[in-house]
Amino acid sequence: MSRYFTDEHEWIDVEGEIATVGITDYAQEQLGDIVFVELPAEGTTFEKGDDAAVVESVKAASDVYAPISGEVVETNSALEDEPALVNSDAEEDGWFFKLRVTDASELEGLMNEAAYKKFVASL
């Protein structure tokens, strides 16, 4: 499995043709206590950069963007009952949705973990 990061603070794990998407620990720390997550409907298709989900905290609401193009094949229904999972485990159990990848070449523009850490350190 390969993990990539965006400059909008999403992470994406790719295994075969399925990509799991969430927000990074850095993003959830900036947002504070997550109180609500709006997930996309299964079957929805996104182009890279589209608004795909919404996360709301006590501080602000923020869009989660599709890091690559694809079709939503699964959403993390646990977040509907327990949005704070994003705070406690943003980069594992707090994932938002899974996409069937339609253009794997879009991964080339994303950062690896080392590049993302360097990017965050520069903020």
pLDDT per residue of the chain (123 residues) written in tens, 0 to 9: 799 999 999 999 999 999 999 999 999 999 999 999 999 999 999 999 999 999 999 989 999 999 999 999 999 999 999 999 999 999 999 999 999 999 999 999 999 999 999 999 999
Cα–Cα distance between 103 and 58 in angstroms, integer?
Answer: 36
Cα–Cα distance between 61 and 13 in angstroms, integer?
Answer: 24
CATH 2.40.50.100, applies to 2-115: yes
Could you say which DSSP state residue 111 is in? Answer: B
User: Letter for the amino acid at 18?
Assistant: I
- The domains of the chain are located at 2-115
